[in-house]
Amino acid sequence: MIARTKWTSQDVSQLRKGLLFISPWLIGFLVFVLYPLIYSLVMSFARYSGLQPPVWLGWQNYTRLFTDPLVWKSVDNTVFYAIRAVPIGLIIGLLLALAMSRVVKEVSVYRTALYLPSLIPVFAMSFIFIVLINPQYGIVNEFLGLFGVPNTNYLGDPTGAKNVIVALAQLGAGNTALIFLAGLNSIPQTLYEAARIDGANRLTSFLRVTFPLLSPVILFNLITGISSGLQVFTPAYIMTNGGPDNGTLFYMYYMYKNAFSYAQLGYACALSVVLFLAGLLLAVIVYTISQRFVNYEIVS
């Protein structure tokens, strides 16, 4: 049996100082993260408009949730978006990172240019996209018209509107690229030199050296991408208002409408709890499966 170590006055003093230093983060976590989580969980079992006292309903919100056709429509739209935006974003981010890692004189200029689009806020880019894809005077339709493609109202079609939002998401690939770039820079160059000595070309070096050693970074970007994909909201709110024909009624947007348009905060809280559990489950599944493919060690 291990004897319990007694706390000295110096240990207590150091603990107090440590808590004092992390108190801003600790207070922020308790007030803005933990408390809202617990409050949302409690309110998910009640009918609450935000103006009157909550009325306890038990599991009625969750029963309604699984029988609400708009919930399933929003889930379908969100899955449509996620399974396209996330993989495409990973590929574009990796390609940008490979371009940023090139040893050229103007590499800092190229990195800045490739990263700049991700600095534009999503709400601002949404307004820009509305102009760019306008069927009458948008430059996208003007450009496609040079190849005989007729003017198309992309936001007037449910599938087209979702594809536009998927395309809009790729302008934020610069953030993913920076993380990939950090991973690329951490790979020892001696491994590439050894691969060249063994006769490996660039493609073989990428598949045998870069990709395996970059797998932890790919996993991180995949999990964060899934989290962002499940929470898509701003483009649908600004560009389409959930339309046409609920074609861009994403899960987060439907949750927002229930909370602030329909004054059904209790039902919205139930939706948020299910979203949290779904995201957590997906992250666990991805992480568990990835253990077979992710390499955390560099063999010298």
List the domains of the chain with CATH numbers: 11-60 (no CATH), 68-290 (1.10.3720.10)
Token code pair at residue 140 = 């996208």
- 280, 272 contact by CB (below 8 A): no
pLDDT classification of 65: cutoffs 50, 70, 90: very high
- 268, 255 contact by CB (below 8 A): yes
Alpha-carbon distance 150 to 144, whole Å? 8
- The mean pLDDT of 255-262, rounded to a whole number, is 94
pLDDT classification of 42: cutoffs 50, 70, 90: very high
Q: What is the pLDDT of residue 231?
A: 93
Q: What is the pLDDT of residue 3?
A: 55
Of 176, 170, 179, the C-alpha closest to 122 is 170
Of 256, 87, 76, 246, the C-alpha closest to 166 is 87
Please give the mean pLDDT across all residues of the chain.
Answer: 89
pLDDT digits (tens, 9 = 90+) for 173-217: 889 999 999 999 888 888 888 888 888 888 888 888 888 889 999
- The mean pLDDT of 94-121, rounded to a whole number, is 86
* Buried-state track 267-285, b at ≥16 Cβ within 10 A, e below 16: bbbbbbbbbeeebeebeee
Of the two residues 107 and 29, the one the predictor is more confident about is: 29
Residue 141 has pLDDT above 90, yes or no: no
Handedness of CA 236, 237, 243, 247 (dihedral sign): positive
